[in-house]
């Protein structure tokens, strides 16, 4: 396992808390065995700021991913066809891609990282998936090169591929 991967995997529990390591129902039992395990209600994006006791407003999630492409139309169609991501509507009445709630890693890497592969690529996106084997087979049937998935205990399964413009994509099936 590469150094960057090990470092990233060590950070995940800190970034997402113990709920990332334990399934939601086991986490609830570990915190309070007398209570039944039920999903926590969506939290408001506010926390006490250390200085002054005022509440700090935080972002609630990622509202979009915008990036340059040599052929935006063709690349958008590729993401829609192979990964099921609906493009931003260009007319009234269209619907945007609704992703499922779940953990999102937000991790700046050093400029010299080899984690993304090509050093000319400044970003990599990680998509959560439900069935790694199914999506890998689907992508390979479409002629897309996908690395064999790797499993990391307590974290999940990961694989890598690239879009037609060489942008790195990581797929993650959480444990």
- Domain annotation covers residue 74: no
Helices (H) and strands (E) in the chain, counts: 4, 6
In the chain the beta strands, taken as DSSP E runs, fall at 46-48, 55-57, 125-128, 150-152, 156-162, 168-174
- Domain annotation covers residue 80: no
- Domain annotation covers residue 105: yes
- Domain annotation covers residue 118: yes
pLDDT, tens digit (0-9, with 9 covering 90-100), for 12-60: 544 444 344 434 343 333 333 444 344 444 544 444 445 567 899 988 8
pLDDT score recorded for residue 46: 43
CATH of the domain at 123: 3.30.720.110
Range of the domain at 105: 3-34+100-174
DSSP assignment, residue 91?
Answer: S
- Domain annotation covers residue 65: no
Lowest average pLDDT, out of 31-40, 110-119, 165-174, goes to 31-40
pLDDT, tens digit (0-9, with 9 covering 90-100), for 76-98: 999 999 999 999 888 888 888 89
- Domain annotation covers residue 29: yes
d(CA 105, CA 111): 18
pLDDT score recorded for residue 3: 54
CA distances 173 to 109, 128, 130, Å, are 22, 6, 6
- Domain annotation covers residue 66: no
- Domain annotation covers residue 169: yes
Count how many domains the chain has.
Answer: 1
């Amino acid at each position: 396992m590469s150094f960057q991967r090990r470092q990233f995997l060590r950070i995940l529990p800190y970034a997402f808390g113990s709920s990332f390591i334990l399934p939601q129902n086991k986490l609830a039992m570990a915190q309070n065995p007398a209570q039944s395990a039920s999903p926590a209600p969506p939290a408001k994006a506010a926390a006490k700021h250390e200085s002054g006791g005022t509440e700090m407003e935080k972002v609630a999630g990622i509202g979009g991913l915008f990036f340059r492409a040599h052929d935006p139309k063709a690349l958008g169609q590729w993401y829609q066809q192979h990964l099921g991501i609906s493009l931003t509507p260009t007319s009234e009445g269209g619907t945007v891609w609704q992703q499922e709630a779940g953990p999102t890693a937000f991790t700046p890497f050093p400029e010299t990282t080899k984690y993304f592969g090509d050093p000319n690529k400044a970003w990599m996106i990680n998509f959560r998936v439900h069935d790694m084997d199914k999506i890998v087979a689907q992508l390979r049937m479409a002629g897309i090169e996908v690395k064999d998935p790797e499993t990391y205990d307590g974290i999940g399964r990961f694989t890598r591929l690239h879009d037609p413009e060489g942008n790195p994509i990581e797929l993650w099936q959480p444990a």
